[in-house]
Structure 1
Amino acid sequence: MSAATMLTANASGVVANAVVMADTETIQLYTEGDRLFDAMLAAIENAQKQVWLETYIFADDEVGRRFAHALSERAKAGVQVRLLVDAVGSLFQFYRSLGSDLEQAGVQVHHFHRWYWRKPLRYNRRDHRKLLVVDGCHAFLGGFNIHRESSQHYFGNARWRDTHASFRGELAQQAAELFDAFWHGDKHHLPIDNKQAKSTLVANQTRFYRRQLNSIYNDFLGNAKQQVCLTTPYFVPDHHTQKVLIAAVKRGVEVRLLVPHTGDVRLARWAANAVYARLLDNGVRIFEYLPRMLHAKVAIVDGNWATLGTANLDYRSLIQNYELNLVSRDTDFCHQLQAQFEEDLKEASAVCPVRWHQRRWVPRLAEFLGWCVRRWL
């Protein structure tokens, strides 16, 4: 049985701050960091039992210090506060003094996979998840990190364009179980999947589940009948995923890919450009988002299946890193994400196949170098 037939999902959704409810789930979408951070901080400040926060980047800046203050205050009030930050993602950003202040306030701080000479290979496997769970019943998940680059108030119009979701009910309970198991190093524990639910959370703690996350993408892309809309900041697909996208076009499916015009990792940008020619020649339409850094990770297929979360369409996310995605068949949720995709396209420029083939040898060489190191980006 394929991952597509195995997976049924549960809930509903919204663009910006509109809310749609379905069954026991409420999903709200955020595309502005300031609104998201205000909502997260409000949830933390109202916590009664637990605050569990997991993030790739926690910067000691204006945004990070707001979160540090809120976490410290709840810990002093007797609430269990856990903070899990990635040792590489927060390197040179989460300073020792900030960690000491948090621990003195009672916050349990853990740095994921710090360098240890006895286990050097694990250093390449990072915790890329961005998850907040409050009292086991309210959760936030998506692409936003805890740093000023995501805030219009602190970073201005150059702020990163990202997508996050908040949800309650059964999905939030799943998120709590996933965080707790990961915190204790139990990477084999996963919540019992409700096969009747419209939405679910997909983690990839083990080799089997890493393959499943990859299979979910390829199965749904492979079964698309009308359109595929992909938004990703780091697009470095393997050969199989490229074939799946090309096969979809040949079946008459409209495949549109939205990527940043200017990325924050130059090598990743070069690696992504290395696959453009093949995709463009076979009918995949590629658009570059112009205003600012695009960091959202969203896919919508046929308007009735969608996913958002922390996983990029690259080797590191699908094979190396620990990721977490929300996957849903709820039509309201899918339509809200589709509407946001169309809005983003208004600020994007289509990549012209003819002009792309006319680029000079210098960028071609850079693309070759980027592709050679794609598994380490």
Structure 2
Amino acid sequence: MSRWVSGNKFRLLENGEEFFPRVFECIAAAKREVVVETFILFEDKVGEELHAALHQAARRGVQVDITIDGYGSPDLSPEFISTLTRAGVRVHVFDPGAKLWGWRTNLFRRMHRKIVVVDGERAFVGGINYSADHLADFGPQAKQDYAVEIEGPLVADIHSFVHRALAAGWRNAGAEPPEGLRERLAGHARSLAGALRRDNIPAPAGEASALFVTRDNRKHTNDIERHYRAAIRTARSRVIIANAYFFPGYRLLKEMRRAARRGVDVRLILQGEPDMPIVKTAASMLYHHLLDAGVRIYEYCERPLHGKVAAIDGEWATVGSSNLDPLSLSLNLEANVVIRDRAFNQELGERLDALMQHSCKQIDRKDLVEPSWWRTVRSYFIFHLLRRYPAWAGWLPAHAPRLTPAGQDLPPSGGSDPEPVGQAKPV
């Protein structure tokens, strides 16, 4: 599915202050269709604003679908959902699995993507959820994060993906989509066939070449990690990675160490004030290993870092939903864009430089005080864990994605699809 597409324009959006107004503005201007995927939707001031934007769009005849994650968005009220569905919004909920004695059986397989597509002409991809903790006025726990707005031919790939996600979920439920959705999916299939003949593809909007890259549990199990590794492997001057949850596999760590040892300026921006203490504990277990190879580590200390971005050699960059930890690299459903554009790379690089200069603490070896015997034992354990975790993560049970609109009973399972988009249940 992933292919380099030229002629795109990217706009970097930092934090909710830049992201939310732009998304809501585009939804308000939608003429035909809005498709949203998100891990978290909370019933707070941000969630209410998204709710209002989708509700108004549906009331004026725009076709609206939203998919949320059942683990990330568990507490939406029946009134919140029913107001949307009565207006014609189709709400789909990804659930990691059926409960057994009150416990989910596939706890760790989550729909972690954050995507918006408006009229098949404009898309948003990144790490920002629809919750007030992505705004600075939330306080010390407000998150630092990034997304991109996309115009140009790449939007056709993203548009195709979100429609295939809906179709796959229904087929795996062993049911036909509702009539309106069935007609829309058929219409999209016709438009996609036209797109393959170079019809119906958004016109070039800029100079950037880009890939839309996803991770799932069947056909695209390590695509995002492969692009990271390839970019670091060929890096010549500089690598900056800002990632909230950092505990990557052995091969990715090896590429970082090799790059630093051959003279590349490799810098990591990680959490210094984490939203979960275990995040910093896990990442710090790798500090000696990385510092010894010449990797520079910065901890962002103003508030929790939630970003998942990288800028390499003044040209390559990525923005998306994928962390560099076992959940994102081996279990979750994720989506990133990979961008080749010097202007975008420069802007992202400058913002990350400002973060390191004004809001981070650089970690020095002398800051790491611990007994040498414990470091030796821990390093042995970490080495073997990281070397093997992509394999053992694959042993955990996967599931066939199923989707149903909120308010309907889930039909019996009777089909399967190679695209593991998600499993859904009524709210």
Compute the TM-score of the two structures, normalised by the length of structure 2.
Answer: 0.75
Aligned to 2:399: none
Structure 2 contact 5–154 (Cα < 8 Å) conserved? no
Higher Cα Rg: structure 1 or 2?
A: 2
Structure 1 contact 8–197 (Cα < 8 Å) conserved? no
Q: List structure 1 segments (4+ residues) > 6 angstroms apart after TM superposition.
A: 189-194, 359-376
Deviation at 1:66, TM superposition (A): 0.7
Q: Structure 1: 5+ residue runs without aligned partners?
A: 1-5, 11-22
Structure 1 contact 229–257 (Cα < 8 Å) conserved? yes
Aligned to 1:18: none
* Secondary structure in structure 1 of the residue aligned to 2:168: coil
CA distance in 1 between counterparts of 2:64 and 2:365 reads 51
Aligned to 2:111: 127
CA distance in 1 between counterparts of 2:71 and 2:376 reads 30
Deviation at 1:134, TM superposition (A): 0.7
Aligned to 1:107: 89
Structure 1 contact 44–74 (Cα < 8 Å) conserved? yes
Deviation at 1:311, TM superposition (A): 0.7
Structure 1 contact 271–370 (Cα < 8 Å) conserved? no
| Cα 1:184–1:255 shift into 2, 3 Å | same
Deviation at 1:309, TM superposition (A): 0.7
Deviation at 1:117, TM superposition (A): 4.2
The yes-or-no answer on 1:145 pairing with 2:156 is: no
Deviation at 1:365, TM superposition (A): 11
For 1:132, the aligned partner's letter is V
* Secondary structure in structure 2 of the residue aligned to 1:185: helix
Aligned to 2:275: 264
| Cα 1:276–1:175 shift into 2, 3 Å | same
The yes-or-no answer on 1:275 pairing with 2:286 is: yes
CA distance in 2 between counterparts of 1:98 and 1:111 reads 14
CA distance in 1 between counterparts of 2:67 and 2:380 reads 36
Aligned to 1:357: 369
| Cα 1:283–1:82 shift into 2, 3 Å | same
Structure 1 contact 267–370 (Cα < 8 Å) conserved? no
Aligned to 1:348: 360
Aligned to 1:293: 304
| Cα 1:264–1:230 shift into 2, 3 Å | same
Aligned to 1:311: 322
CA distance in 2 between counterparts of 1:364 and 1:132 reads 46
| Cα 1:9–1:221 shift into 2, 3 Å | farther
Task: Output one character per residue of 1:198-220: Cα deviation in whole Å (capped at 9) or x when no partner.
Answer: 11211123534222222111111
CA distance in 2 between counterparts of 1:136 and 1:337 reads 26
Deviation at 1:299, TM superposition (A): 1.1
2:152 alignment partner, one of 160, 163, 169? 169
* Secondary structure in structure 2 of the residue aligned to 1:159: coil
CA distance in 2 between counterparts of 1:348 and 1:236 reads 19
Q: 1:67-78 residue pairs with structure 2 within 5 A?
A: 67-78=50-61
Compute the TM-score of the two structures, normalised by the length of structure 1.
Answer: 0.85
Aligned to 1:201: 212
Aligned to 2:248: 237
Task: Output one character per residue of 1:235-275: Cα deviation in whole Å (capped at 9) or x when no partner.
Answer: 10112211111111111111100012111122232221211
The yes-or-no answer on 1:62 pairing with 2:49 is: no
**Cα RMSD over matched residues?**
3.4
| Cα 1:361–1:34 shift into 2, 3 Å | farther
Task: Output one character per residue of 1:59-84: Cα deviation in whole Å (capped at 9) or x when no partner.
Answer: 00011001101111111212111010
